[in-house]
């Protein structure tokens, strides 16, 4: 392959024949996104849209551990703790613009979500035209575990999942394997990891058949049974309840051990994040347009960043001090303010945070 552009940050950008190839190249951090990487990805897409010599884009990650573990959460912690919410806002705006760009890109984007793919990684891969997973893939939107809420258009992907899987995956932050991801609508095809190089070569050489989807299908294998599909009866029953309290109550009444385990998991998670996330997924189901969903998510993430101590506390407990003992505020769902959803969804960030 020949380099078409030099990478300023941790993104390798090149063109081989008619294939533009973008590789997240920060493997020690499981390719976690920083603002420079987002800008580089966006600039490459802008250039290739106008380039008649590029007719498809491949997006993948370096290293064996995963495609992308998400955004740089520790960096977000430092920005908020340092009072620089504007820096966090710039990151989210650029990231969401990139998510929307991938979704509407006029040339097929083929994303390979091999290994860990979470949070911001879902925002990149989940909106691509052709979404590939492998037997090593582990996909999740685990934001509630740090006192946050799924973003990057994740609430829309969750809302589109069968039955009440969206509520389940959003609230618990549960991890999907390849079969689960395909069943839940987060991926399209399973390609074995040892065939990825062959897939890349086929995308470059463009032997018949011609389209990206047809080429991927040459390497597609049937995924095994999905545990999410098997768990649908108790998930659909419990997660159809109107509130988090109602969900937990239904889970406790179910005979399945996994249902009762899920109730205990929810009891340990931050009440504010759970309440807002449940409402966010259901709002996306009512208005399933990515750009409007991203705009709503932007308001919510800035509400968390500017007003909610749980976000800093969750990152501290899991990634900074790593004591695994977050102190949520409030600690109990019974102590949530009656107007918490009105405050979250009615939050209006300072006008300066909507644009550079």
Candidates 60, 72, 114, 143; catalytic one: 143
338 given a catalytic annotation: no
User: How far out from the chain centre does Cα 239 lie?
Assistant: 21
- Which residue has tokens 């509520």? 167
Strands 66-68 and 19-24: unpaired
Distances (CA, A) of 243 to 83, 125, 148, 296, 341: 33, 30, 18, 20, 12
71 given a catalytic annotation: yes
Which alpha helices (H) appear in the chain, and where do they start and end?
Answer: 35-49, 73-81, 85-104, 120-125, 154-159, 165-172, 178-184, 196-205, 212-217, 227-238, 244-253, 257-267, 271-286, 290-307, 309-315, 340-345
CB 222, CB 214: distance < 8 Å: no
143 given a catalytic annotation: yes
Which alpha helices (H) appear in 115-243, and where do they start and end?
Answer: 120-125, 154-159, 165-172, 178-184, 196-205, 212-217, 227-238
Candidates 70, 71, 121, 173; catalytic one: 71
Q: How far apart are CA 62 and CA 77, in angstroms?
A: 25
Dihedral of CA atoms 228, 174, 294, 77 in degrees, nearest 10, equals: -170
Candidates 114, 151, 188, 310; catalytic one: 151
120 given a catalytic annotation: yes
Active-site residue set: 71, 120, 143, 151
């Amino acid at each position: 392959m020949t380099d078409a552009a030099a990478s300023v940050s941790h993104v390798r950008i090149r063109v081989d024949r008619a294939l533009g190839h973008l590789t997240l190249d920060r493997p020690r951090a499981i390719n976690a996104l920083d603002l420079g990487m987002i800008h580089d990805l966006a600039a490459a897409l802008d250039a290739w849209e106008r380039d008649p010599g590029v007719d498809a884009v491949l997006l993948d990650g370096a290293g064996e551990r995963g495609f992308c573990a998400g955004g740089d959460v520790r960096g977000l912690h430092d920005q908020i703790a340092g009072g620089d919410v504007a820096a966090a806002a710039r990151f989210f705006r650029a990231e969401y613009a990139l998510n929307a760009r991938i979704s509407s890109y006029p040339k097929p984007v083929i994303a390979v979500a091999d290994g860990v793919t979470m949070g911001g990684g879902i925002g990149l891969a989940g909106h691509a035209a052709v979404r590939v997973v492998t037997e090593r893939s582990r996909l999740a939107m685990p934001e509630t575990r740090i006192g946050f809420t799924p973003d990057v258009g994740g609430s829309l992907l969750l809302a589109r999942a069968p039955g009440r899987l969206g509520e389940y995956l959003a609230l618990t932050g549960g991890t999907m394997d390849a079969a689960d991801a395909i069943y839940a609508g987060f991926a399209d095809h399973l390609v074995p990891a040892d065939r990825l190089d062959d897939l890349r070569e086929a995308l470059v050489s463009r032997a018949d058949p011609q389209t990206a989807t047809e080429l991927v299908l040459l390497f597609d294998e049937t995924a095994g049974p999905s545990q999410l599909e098997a768990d649908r009866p108790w998930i659909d029953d419990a997660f159809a309840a109107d509130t988090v309290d109602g969900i937990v109550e239904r889970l406790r009444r179910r005979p399945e051990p996994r249902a009762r385990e899920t109730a205990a998991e929810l009891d340990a998670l931050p009440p504010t994040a759970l309440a807002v996330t449940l409402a966010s997924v259901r709002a996306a189901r009512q208005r399933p347009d990515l750009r409007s969903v991203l705009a709503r998510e932007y308001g919510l993430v800035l509400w968390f960043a500017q007003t909610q101590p749980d976000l800093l506390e969750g990152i501290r407990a899991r990634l900074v001090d790593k004591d695994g003992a977050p102190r949520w505020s409030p600690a109990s769902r019974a102590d949530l303010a009656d107007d918490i959803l009105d405050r979250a969804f009615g939050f209006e960030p300072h006008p300066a945070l909507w644009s550079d």
